[in-house]
Structure 1
Amino acid sequence: MATLDDVRRIAAGLPGSEERAMTGGAAWFVRNRLYAWECHPWPSIPADMRAVIAAEPVVGVKVAERLDAQALIGMAPDVFLRETTRWSEPKVAFRLAGIDVDHLAELVTEAWRTQAPKYLRVPFDAAHPAVDV
């Protein structure tokens, strides 16, 4: 089971990453672009999603495409929440209790990649080659 401290540790290892305290909790940015955040039960969130977010730690991350979010939700609907806001950019929220640390690292790193400028991504990717399965 992953925790917010795991998110902090993973984000701290990403070039240019910065944690900020926001009204809704912690949020992580790269070059002033949000890529991960602690979800807060805002009144604008549907009631069933708001109840989950109020009861347990939930994190949101940017994804490259809306289809990526839909695939994650379809793969594990008990972990990945359906869309929580009407924001137009692709994102997905998930229960930390349902994510292992390796999967969390993948989600946070991919979210960072969607927002990081090329001059940060290229050297990072060269130092951390993807593993083909």
Structure 2
Amino acid sequence: MATADDLRRIALELPEAYERASHDNRSSFRTKPRMFAALRDDGDVAVLWVADEGEKHALVTSEADKFFTTPHYDGHPIVLVRLAAVDVDELAELVTESWRLRASTAAVRAWDEA
């Protein structure tokens, strides 16, 4: 079972990542200039980017116990993750992939070469 603290630790270990309160005062994790992860107000759900709407729908359909969405995210490649339903290793993979999609090309290249 992953926690908000696990999300924070994983996100902040990524290159150029930093934490900032979003417009609605929730924790968000960014890499210049984009957000790549956030915690919902309740702290038990992560907001993460995926490659596209197809991947989002596949996750929500195949693993509804872990992934869901709301109408607010319709049309966006963003999935909501129930932290209690994923282990830390799976969360690390999801957060890292979200970061890769949102980080600069140079940051991703440096990460890949390290």
Map of 1:65 onto structure 2: 52
Question: After TM superposition, what 4+ stretches of structure 1 lie above 4 angstroms from structure 2?
Answer: none
C-alpha RMSD of matched pairs (Å): 1.6
Structure 1, unmatched stretches of 5+, are 41-53, 128-133
- Given that 1:29 and 1:35 are in contact with CA atoms closer than 8 Å, whether structure 2 keeps it comes out as yes
Query: Which residue of 70, 77, 84 corresponds with 1:83?
Result: 70
Corresponding residue SS for 1:27 = strand
Corresponding residue SS for 1:34 = strand
Q: 2:38, 2:32 → 1: CA distance? A: 15
In percent, how many aligned pairs have the same letter? Answer: 38
Flag the 1:106–1:86 CA change in 2: closer, same or farther, 3 A: closer
Flag the 1:102–1:84 CA change in 2: closer, same or farther, 3 A: farther
2:7 equivalent to 1:7: yes
- Given that 1:24 and 1:38 are in contact with CA atoms closer than 8 Å, whether structure 2 keeps it comes out as no
- Given that 1:63 and 1:90 are in contact with CA atoms closer than 8 Å, whether structure 2 keeps it comes out as yes
Give the number of equivalent residue pairs. Answer: 113
Q: 1:89, 1:71 → 2: CA distance? A: 14
Larger Rg computed on CA atoms: 1
- Given that 2:53 and 2:75 are in contact with CA atoms closer than 8 Å, whether structure 1 keeps it comes out as no
Residue correspondence of structure 1 range 20-31 to structure 2 within 5 A: 20-22=20-22, 23-31=24-32
Map of 1:111 onto structure 2: 98
**Which deviates further from its counterpart, 101-110 or 84-93?**
84-93
| Residue-by-residue CA offset, 1:93-119 (whole Å, 9 max, x unaligned) | 011000100000011000001111111
